[in-house]
Structure 1
């Protein structure tokens, strides 16, 4: 759910393609696809086919990656063209569902993984018969794209990237405040924030971001870490099935600690209306920011080695979990008239060459064995790979969508002090209780629609 403003300039695109030629991506991709029977030559002699791909990436780096992947694929198979259509993120899924009813939608569509995939699976093509398992096995986290979250049942989505909900911090401001390392607990966070406040610097800046998911900031980045501070990944499943109610004292306590950030003046005052959090952070007006790794390209481009990354410390003991998860990718629609050609593009996404294109676009590739050269991205990957942090999925991707919607509405109000922690918890719990039984089964994989 992973910022660059608009399309790259001609100069940046030129640099990008020189990079691709330098590493041999185009030639290697052609050889790879020819070897596996996809793309090069597979549509030779046929009339040119045009596919449509919908994306909801706004101005973030994922939009750039999509464009670059499509351009590279079209060079590999001139008989297949892909028209990329940018749709508004705020009502993307409603548009996609309406288009599915009329069978007028795209051949390929960006799809969020987890329960989002299962919610919309009625018009998503299971890829089991279209993309070989050998190809899909090159991708990480495929469980979260599968029926019943079991890859033996096939998959609906080929992930674009390995995503993080993560914190960023300004190293220069930390040094100026005499803070050597980022905080790891609530109390350390409060202590650090008090130092930044005395310096006239916002400790944590909140505001709507590059995803354009709504007029307010998206609270599920923070919510994920509040629940990491309380529960194991297995216990998160109990948030889904109701064994742990959202009104539990531990959750209300986490909400109370989180609200204190605003009450004590550690955030910007306009948390509900701000749209400038990323820019404020880049300009040194804020010490920390909690977003997704899809904002890394923009932040690193502006801040360079002054940019650091940390795990949001929303825990009474040292935080030891990190959100690392294939949060989105591309799916084929059931009503596509060009499934063979759409499958070729999906197979291309599983190649190391496609992974290098994703990395060159500022993201962390999901293809096994292909990594990002960005040092901050490497720091993110090290949390689990070297420091032993437990990997968690994105909480909003494994929580019923109507519960996510309720949280998205009330949590900004909670931080702003408009509602109490208990009231916020009650509204989220009420949304869960109103779900049909099919949307709150015993486990994530039992989620069904209708």
Structure 2
């Protein structure tokens, strides 16, 4: 070392000084802060695994913050809940998760409040705030969202002499009859067990109904919901839908729509890759619009959200977590996820940008601020299962009896 050749080393003080310098020089550099991120996989294989998305963000973040490293672990959606629960039980807490939100972890004091680890909570989609909260405090950051809209086949519409998508139930009936006359299914109505609770709710919303009132009371057999099912029965009996909707799943009708066999149906962005894979609809054939209600387009729709949450672990990583989340929630990364998986953003700013630049997704984005979630009630799982099993039988002479059966299940479990 150059310091070792210094003449001052002849003195004891100088030697001590040199020893101090030598110890200083030999001390290791300060270790990086390491954050563990456990995220659900939205992909279908190695070419579109979410590992690609999160690794890009982690690398970009490390380049901008060299003292912080983010280790990414991607978990199959089917195993995500179990994986996180096992980690928590073993006290091997992840620093950050992305997927389902577990309010019990907030209840146990394991999570940071959003305001502690994110600089601009006001930019998070406000409609999902309650869903990511516990006792009125928000712990989950909406990361990716989805909503429903009306899909329609412009080519089929043109053949049937229809120029604009329907805005009311009467227009649905009129247009569906014209499409049926051309040998196609007028309106796809999936009331089979796969996701009957979603299709049913969309129709209920179109008549001012729903599963619960604003104050959380079960209203499944309300007059509005009964009237809705009477109209749906009329539509089915007129032959304006596929036969026996109670046996048809969403995926079945998504595939038929993609094959050009259905004029219109309520759908979500997950239908888009199915349409692309089928390669039957030509460019410009697909149209999307607000879902038609009894007297006009509904200003609400079913919305679903996946969340990011941050664990306190030993409490020393809060500043690093905040830096990373502020970085990861930038509009460009939110929109990258949209383009990779055709999901919608979790931030208002990214949603505004998407609505400006993507005409196909714009109706979904515009519906998000008024999105309705499924009931946040422990008995919902039981109610949902019963809806999936028997709501198809409400297409008939006595829909109220079927709805009352489901209502009684909800009340017994509450």
**So what's the TM-score if we normalise by structure 1?**
0.67
Range moving further from structure 2, 69-78 or 179-188: 69-78
Are 2:414 and 1:428 aligned? no
User: Is the contact made by 2:212 and 2:219 (CA closer than 8 Å) also made in structure 1?
Assistant: no
User: Is the contact made by 1:55 and 1:87 (CA closer than 8 Å) also made in structure 2?
Assistant: yes
Range moving further from structure 2, 327-336 or 184-193: 327-336
Pick 1 or 2: higher relative contact order, CA cutoff 8 A, min separation 6.
1
User: Is the contact made by 1:127 and 1:156 (CA closer than 8 Å) also made in structure 2?
Assistant: yes
- Of 52, 59, 73 in structure 1, the residue corresponding to residue 57 of structure 2 is 73
Change in 2 beyond 3 A, CA 1:52/1:368: closer
Partner residue in 2 for 1:165 = 148
Q: Which SS does the other structure have where 1:174 is aligned?
A: helix
Partner residue in 1 for 2:306 = 328
User: Is the contact made by 1:185 and 1:314 (CA closer than 8 Å) also made in structure 2?
Assistant: yes
Are 2:337 and 1:363 aligned? no
Partner residue in 1 for 2:74 = 84
Change in 2 beyond 3 A, CA 1:107/1:261: farther
Deviations 1:97-125 (A, max 9, x none): 5664555675544445xxx7647643661
Q: Which SS does the other structure have where 1:321 is aligned?
A: coil
Structure 1 unaligned residues grouped into runs of 5+ = 1-43, 209-214, 385-390, 437-450
Q: Which SS does the other structure have where 2:157 is aligned?
A: helix
Partner residue in 2 for 1:241 = 216
Structure 2 unaligned residues grouped into runs of 5+ = 1-28, 63-68
Larger Rg: 2
Distance in 2 between residues matched to 1:149 and 1:66, nearest whole Å: 32
- Of 318, 326, 347 in structure 1, the residue corresponding to residue 296 of structure 2 is 318
Change in 2 beyond 3 A, CA 1:427/1:345: farther
Q: What pairs with 1:129-140 in structure 2 (closer than 5 Å)?
A: 130-132=116-118, 134-140=119-125
Distance in 1 between residues matched to 2:163 and 2:181, nearest whole Å: 17
Partner residue in 2 for 1:188 = 171
Q: How many residues align?
A: 365
Partner residue in 2 for 1:346 = 325
Cα distance, 1:320 vs structure 2: 3.5
Cα distance, 1:146 vs structure 2: 4.9
Distance in 1 between residues matched to 2:147 and 2:406, nearest whole Å: 24
**So what's the TM-score if we normalise by structure 2?**
0.72
Q: Which SS does the other structure have where 1:166 is aligned?
A: strand
Range moving further from structure 2, 275-284 or 118-127: 118-127
